[in-house]
Structure 1
Amino acid sequence: MRHKILTAVVIVLSFTSCKKFLDEKPISNLIEQTYYRNTEEVETGVIACYDGLQKVYDMEFKLTEIRADNTSGVSLEGDWGAIKFFRDAPSNFFVLDYWQRAFNTIARCNLVLKYIDNVTDPAKKKYFEGEAKFIRSLMYFNLIRLYGDVPLLTASIKFDDFEKFKRINKTEIYGQIKTDLLTSVDYCPPSWPTAQVARVTKGASQALLAKVYLTLKEYDNAKIQLAPIVGANFKGSTYQLNPSYSAIFSTATEMSKEILFAVRYKASANGEGNSFSYEYTNNGDARNVKASAAYQALFEASDIRKATTFNAVNGLCTKFLDPTAPQRDAGNDFPVIRFADALLMYAEASNELAATPTTDVLTPLNEVRARAVASQYILVGLNTKEAARAAIFKERKLEFGFENERWYDLVRMDQASTITILNAYLVNTGNPNITVPAYRLIFPIPQTEIDLSKGNLKQNPQYN
Structure 2
Amino acid sequence: MKTTYNKNTNLFPGYFKTFGKALLWGTLTFATLSCEKDLMLEPENNITQTSFYTTELQISQAVSGVYSAMVNASSRGGFDVNFYLLASEVRSNNFNAISQNGNRDYYAINRFQDTSSTEEVEILWEDAYQLISYANTILARIDAVPFADQATKEQYRSETRFLRAYAYFELMRNFGKVPLVDHPVTPEEAVSIPRTDLATLYEFVTSEIEASVAGLKNAYDAKNKGRVTKSAAHAMLGRIYLTGSGFPLNNGSYLQKAKSHLNTVIQGEGQYVTFAANYADLFKSANDNKYHIFEIQHISGGLSQGSYLPSYVSPTFGVNDPLYNPQGSLYSAAELGVSQSLINSYETGDLRRPLTVKTQFIAQNGQVDYANYFVKFREPGVVLTNRYDWPINFPVIRYEDVLLMYAEVLNNEGNTSAAVPYVNRIRQRAGLAPLSTSMTAGDFTTALRKERRVEFAGEGVYWHDLVRWNIAVAVINQAAADLNYNFTITTNDYLYQIPLSQIQVAGYEQNP
Whether 1:146 aligns to 2:174 is yes
Residue in 2 that maps onto 1:394: 450
Match of 1:53 among 58, 61, 70: 70
Offset, 1:14: 7.1
Residue in 2 that maps onto 1:211: 239
Residue in 2 that maps onto 1:459: 510
Q: Conserved in 2, the CA contact under 8 Å of 1:348 and 1:389?
A: yes
Moved more, 77-86 or 281-290: 281-290
Q: Conserved in 2, the CA contact under 8 Å of 1:8 and 1:107?
A: no
Moved more, 190-199 or 53-62: 53-62
1:163, 1:91 → 2: CA distance? Answer: 19
- 5+ residue gaps, structure 1, are none
Q: CA RMSD in A?
A: 2.4
The code of the aligned residue for 1:45 comes to: A
1:98, 1:311 → 2: CA distance? Answer: 29
Q: Conserved in 1, the CA contact under 8 Å of 2:25 and 2:61?
A: no
The code of the aligned residue for 1:81 comes to: Y
Match of 2:440 among 370, 383, 386: 383
1:412 to 1:7, Cα distance in 2 relative to 1, 3 A: farther
Whether 1:350 aligns to 2:417 is no
Using the size of structure 1 for normalisation, the TM-score is: 0.91
Residue in 2 that maps onto 1:404: 460
1:407 to 1:286, Cα distance in 2 relative to 1, 3 A: farther
Percentage identity across aligned positions? 24
For residues 399-447 of structure 1, the C-alpha deviation after alignment (integer angstroms, 9 at most, x for no partner) is 0001011111111112xx221111011122341x210122111000000
Using the size of structure 2 for normalisation, the TM-score is: 0.82
Find the residue that maps to 2:423 and give its secondary structure. Answer: helix
Offset, 1:286: 6.8
Whether 1:369 aligns to 2:427 is yes
Offset, 1:135: 0.8
Whether 1:201 aligns to 2:226 is no
Q: Conserved in 2, the CA contact under 8 Å of 1:207 and 1:337?
A: yes
- 5+ residue gaps, structure 2, are 31-46, 72-77, 246-253, 316-328, 361-370
Aligned length: 447
- Map of 1:313-328 to 2, 5 A cutoff? 313=360, 314-322=371-379, 323-325=382-384, 326-328=386-388
Moved more, 332-341 or 8-17: 8-17
1:26 to 1:122, Cα distance in 2 relative to 1, 3 A: closer
Moved more, 10-19 or 403-412: 10-19
Q: Conserved in 1, the CA contact under 8 Å of 2:28 and 2:65?
A: no
Q: Conserved in 2, the CA contact under 8 Å of 1:151 and 1:167?
A: yes
Q: Conserved in 2, the CA contact under 8 Å of 1:264 and 1:333?
A: yes
1:4 to 1:348, Cα distance in 2 relative to 1, 3 A: farther
Whether 1:267 aligns to 2:320 is no
Residue in 1 that maps onto 2:35: none
Offset, 1:228: 2.0
1:4 to 1:327, Cα distance in 2 relative to 1, 3 A: farther
Offset, 1:23: 2.7
Residue in 2 that maps onto 1:174: 202
Residue in 2 that maps onto 1:423: 477
For residues 55-79 of structure 1, the C-alpha deviation after alignment (integer angstroms, 9 at most, x for no partner) is 3223221111111111111103522
For residues 177-205 of structure 1, the C-alpha deviation after alignment (integer angstroms, 9 at most, x for no partner) is 01101012222110111111110000000
The code of the aligned residue for 1:112 comes to: I
- Map of 1:281-300 to 2, 5 A cutoff? 281-282=314-315, 283-285=329-331, 287=333, 288-300=335-347
1:316 to 1:401, Cα distance in 2 relative to 1, 3 A: same
Whether 1:106 aligns to 2:132 is yes
Whether 1:37 aligns to 2:54 is yes
1:20 to 1:400, Cα distance in 2 relative to 1, 3 A: farther
2:397, 2:341 → 1: CA distance? Answer: 26
Offset, 1:450: 1.9
2:231, 2:17 → 1: CA distance? Answer: 27
Q: Conserved in 2, the CA contact under 8 Å of 1:133 and 1:184?
A: yes
Moved more, 264-273 or 282-291: 282-291
Offset, 1:16: 10
Q: Conserved in 1, the CA contact under 8 Å of 2:191 and 2:505?
A: no
Offset, 1:372: 1.1
The code of the aligned residue for 2:98 comes to: V
Q: Conserved in 2, the CA contact under 8 Å of 1:49 and 1:132?
A: yes
1:337 to 1:365, Cα distance in 2 relative to 1, 3 A: same
Match of 2:390 among 322, 327, 330: 330
1:22, 1:277 → 2: CA distance? Answer: 22
2:287, 2:18 → 1: CA distance? Answer: 17
